[in-house]
């Protein structure tokens, strides 16, 4: 699905319609679509560090507090030259808390895809982040994401609380069944008890330590 996206004469573009110019849209919510990407990250760097970083052989990710990257949504043009320096970007991981109103979870999913589409339009390799809350968002998290391609998920801290585990595991199962990814990039741990069955299906699991994990390892080995 596609449609015309243009700002109205004399009106300020407060909804950032420019982000979805030339976009294709998915589902009745009209979530912008991300095109498949063949580039694969060798290293990851959080957006907050990428802004002043010098090692550009990384994909930029947003697996950190929303407050650290809300500025990208507020002023995307400002950070486009920064992101252009890097190998690529994993789309923003705007929060989808289960106790958030559903419409806010839909809005955050839209925002992530809109930024991803705009970055692709500007020549930056983009891998879609797939984020869900409870079962109401299992289908939503797949909207606009290409099938048989690469997806990224943030796993850090997702199953610390016992009551959160079923939502994460069931959502992951749903996303894998629907999207049939060839590669799943995991930020944080990738427990065998959860991910081995996907490996057995021929899906490549690429695990990257979170900043906390990397820091903790250094502290233990020091």
In the prediction, which pLDDT does 160 show?
Answer: 55
Maximum distance among all alpha carbons in the chain?
A: 61
In the prediction, which pLDDT does 215 show?
Answer: 58
Question: Per residue in 165-197, pLDDT tens?
Answer: 889 999 999 999 999 999 999 999 899 999 999
In the prediction, which pLDDT does 15 show?
Answer: 83
| DSSP string of 115-176, one letter each residue | HHHHHHHTT--EE-B----SGGGTTGGGTTPPSSSEEEEE-TTTTSSGGGHHHHHHHHHHHH
pLDDT, the chain, mean: 90
In the prediction, which pLDDT does 126 show?
Answer: 98
Q: How far apart (Å, rounded) are the C-alpha atoms in residues 117 and 19?
A: 7
pLDDT surpasses 50 at 209: yes
Question: Per residue in 81-106, pLDDT tens?
Answer: 999 999 999 999 999 988 899 999 99
The pTM of the full predicted model, rounded to 2 decimals, is: 0.90
In the prediction, which pLDDT does 14 show?
Answer: 77
Per mean pLDDT, which range of 127-136, 144-153, 155-164, 183-192 is the poorest?
A: 155-164
- Residues 2-24, mean pLDDT to the nearest whole number: 75
pLDDT band at residue 80 using 50, 70 and 90 as cut-offs: very high
Q: Which residue did the predictor score with more confidence, 53 or 157?
A: 53
- Residues 52-62, mean pLDDT to the nearest whole number: 97
Return the domain boundaries, the chain.
24-221
């Amino acid at each position: 699905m596609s449609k015309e996206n243009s700002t109205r004469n004399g009106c300020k573009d407060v909804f950032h319609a420019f982000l979805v110019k030339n976009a294709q849209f998915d589902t009745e919510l009209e979530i912008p679509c991300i095109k498949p990407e063949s580039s694969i990250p060798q290293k990851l760097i959080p957006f907050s560090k990428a802004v002043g970083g010098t090692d550009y052989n990384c994909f930029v990710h947003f697996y950190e507090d929303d407050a650290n990257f809300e500025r990208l949504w507020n002023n995307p043009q400002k950070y486009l030259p920064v992101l252009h320096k890097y190998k690529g970007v994993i789309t923003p991981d705007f929060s989808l808390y289960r106790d958030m109103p559903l419409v806010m979870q839909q809005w955050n999913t839209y925002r992530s895809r809109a930024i991803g589409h705009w970055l692709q339009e500007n020549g930056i390799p983009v891998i879609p982040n797939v984020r869900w809350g409870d079962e109401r968002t299992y289908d939503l998290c797949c909207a606009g994401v290409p099938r048989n391609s690469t997806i990224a998920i943030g796993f850090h801290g997702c199953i610390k609380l016992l009551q959160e585990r079923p939502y994460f595991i069931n959502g992951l199962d749903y996303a894998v069944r629907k999207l049939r990814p060839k590669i799943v990039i995991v930020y944080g741990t990738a427990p065998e008890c959860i991910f081995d069955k996907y490996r057995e299906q021929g899906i490549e699991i690429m695990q990257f330590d979170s900043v906390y994990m990397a820091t903790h390892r250094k502290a233990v080995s020091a």
